[in-house]
Amino acid sequence: MRNNRRRRDQDSPWKTLITLFFPQLIQLINPELYALIDWQRGYQFLDSELRKIAPRSRTGRQTVDKLVQVYLRDGSEYWILIHIEAQSHPDPDFEARMFTYYATLWVLYRRPIVSIAILADDDPNWRPSTFTQSLGGCRMEFNFYTVKLLDMDEAQLLNNPNPCALILAAFRRAMRANTAEFMLASRIELVRLALYRGYTEEQVENLIRLLEWVMVLPEVLEERYEQFLEEVKREQNTPYLSVLERKALREGWEQGVQKGLQEGHEKGLQEGRAQGLQEGRAQGLQEGILTLLRTLYGAVPAEVEAQLRAIRDVATLNALYPLAVSAGSLENFAQQLAQQQGD
């Protein structure tokens, strides 16, 4: 039971990592694909579409699946779908599941698809990469792109300026940690690297929260870790999230999103009592969407905030919540918001 719980807990950080650092992750694990993508056009997470087709694993849903739409650099309307699966334990049905995703996505979208499997398990001999079928002279072979975390050089990860490299190093350290003291020392080392590498304040906060999520410590060592952060704060005047805020995020990215949605509705209802129900709900929904956008993507440009606050229709604002979650970037959200207003 303890191992199963640990596996489930290891899945949520992967989902959050892909959501927060998608471009950086692709750059790290598949540089060739990264060079093909037009990142200025943004990207869009298609989680709702993925849930409709997700096959059930006989070993339980102990995986993380993300479907992302991106555009290529050739300037045309040509776009591809990237399916990323993070797998934290060996699964005999894994190759078949990867093919099921690919085939179903092809039938639905008729677009080129890149299937990426991040193998985060601790079994050096488990290396799925191909699904084949052969019968009566007919043969089908499906190969997908595979990244084995155990194969990645830890020293290279620690020296890589890509912020995702620190998280992958944390997953590797968590795999082989045999003492809580080792985990504490590793977390402090990686947090120091995150603090002193010149990342943005938002990236540092996200990295710290992810590192804490991946490298779990007993309560007594958490106290020593908090003392370390307080010393850093005094020495560098470095802002970082409070203990309660970081623990709240570790409870689950999806729960954080749902909390933002709920706060927006509650704020609208509260303001509605003072200003009129319709007006109050609209303002509360606006605040909820802005909170969600800041949580997902960082500071919201003034023009985007102004466009959002100009919308007073409650139904329209409600419809913008899933758009904010799936947009993938503020630029993509702004484009789709402008399109909706122009319709």
Digit-coded pLDDT (tens) for 137-168: 999 999 999 999 999 999 999 999 999 999 99
Name the pTM for this structure.
0.67
Confidence at residue 29, expressed as pLDDT on a 0 to 100 scale: 95
User: Which residues have a Cβ under 8 Å from the Cβ of 250 and sit 6 or more positions away?
Assistant: 209, 212, 213
Digit-coded pLDDT (tens) for 253-289: 445 444 444 554 444 444 433 444 455 567 767 877 8
User: Which residues have a Cβ under 8 Å from the Cβ of 163 and sit 6 or more positions away?
Assistant: 21, 24, 194, 197, 199, 203, 207
Confidence at residue 233, expressed as pLDDT on a 0 to 100 scale: 75
Q: Is the pLDDT of residue 216 over 70?
A: yes
Digit-coded pLDDT (tens) for 296-336: 677 788 888 888 888 888 778 777 766 776 666 788 888 88
Confidence at residue 3, expressed as pLDDT on a 0 to 100 scale: 42
Q: Is the pLDDT of residue 86 over 60?
A: yes
Residue from 73, 77, 159, 87 nearest 116 by CA: 87
Digit-coded pLDDT (tens) for 20-45: 999 999 999 999 999 999 999 888 88
* C-alpha neighbours within 13 Å on the C-beta side of residue 244: 0
- In the chain, the percentage of residues whose pLDDT exceeds 70 is 75
**Mean pLDDT value of segment 173-177:** 85
Tokens 């060592």, residue located: 221
Q: Is the pLDDT of residue 235 over 50?
A: yes
Q: Is the pLDDT of residue 126 over 50?
A: yes
